[in-house]
Amino acid sequence: MSRMADRLLDALARSARHSYGGETVSELEHALQCADLARAAGADTELQLACLLHDVGRYAVDPALIADTTEPRRAGPRARGHHEVGADLIAPWVPARVAWCVRMHADAKRYLCATEPAYYDRLSAASRHTLRLQGGVMNAEEARHLREHPWLPDALALRRWDDQAKVPGRATQPLEAWAPLLGRYLGRG
């Protein structure tokens, strides 16, 4: 196991102590549920990895770097969205598609709000709050631009699993079950 894979496993394990942004599950439960949903749906391992790590910017970096949080933290002057910070953290190690899906998981929500009226109505209160911090509903021009991206379906799939991965007490694979996948993709770090 590489240092980077170990570091992420450790950060995920410690994220069990933190609730997932105003929801009723922990950060770890949320990550495990999201990755399990992807696996159950037959997603390839890149997309499963993106689902497991999509919120890495919430729990594996200095909170002062994060601008879009529901908790009253002191965001520093150069704080950015957790999706940007998390994608930058893993980008040197993972395939470009994995980092892109992590980077886009906030924009995917903004896109779905613009293109599916019923989607916004289903968002949790916490998710609506962060939507405002992440730029709000996407405008038509932005949505048209994003629609042409070949990986958009992957980012939208991740987003929908992300939205569903908030069920208190749902049984999942344990974190250790994901260690081989992390080792395979982050083994060079």
- Residues 72-91 contacting Fe ion, CB under 5 A: none
Residue nearest Fe ion (C-beta atom): 162
Count Cβ atoms below 10 Å from residue 16 Cβ, excluding itself.
14
How many chain residues bind Fe ion (CB under 5 A)? Answer: 2
Nearer to Fe ion, 154 or 162 (CB): 162
Neighbour-count burial of 105, counting CB atoms closer than 10 A to its CB (0-12 exposed, 13-18 middle, 19+ buried)? buried
Q: Are 170 and 29 in contact (CB under 8 A)?
A: yes
Using the rule CB under 5 A, is 27 a contact of Fe ion? no
Which of the ranges 49-57, 110-118, 167-175, 178-186 carries the binding residues for Fe ion, by CB under 5 A? 49-57
Instruction: Determine the Cα angle at 155 with ends 56 and 61, to 5°.
Output: 15
Using the rule CB under 5 A, is 23 a contact of Fe ion? no
Backbone angles phi, psi at 170, to 5 degrees: -65, 135
Letters for 158-177 (x = contact with Fe ion by CB under 5 A, - = none) are ----x---------------
Structure tokens belonging to residue 9:
């496993």
Using the rule CB under 5 A, is 55 a contact of Fe ion? yes
Which of the ranges 50-58, 63-71, 83-91, 149-157 carries the binding residues for Fe ion, by CB under 5 A? 50-58
d(CA 22, CA 78): 24
Residues that bind Fe ion (CB under 5 A): 55, 162
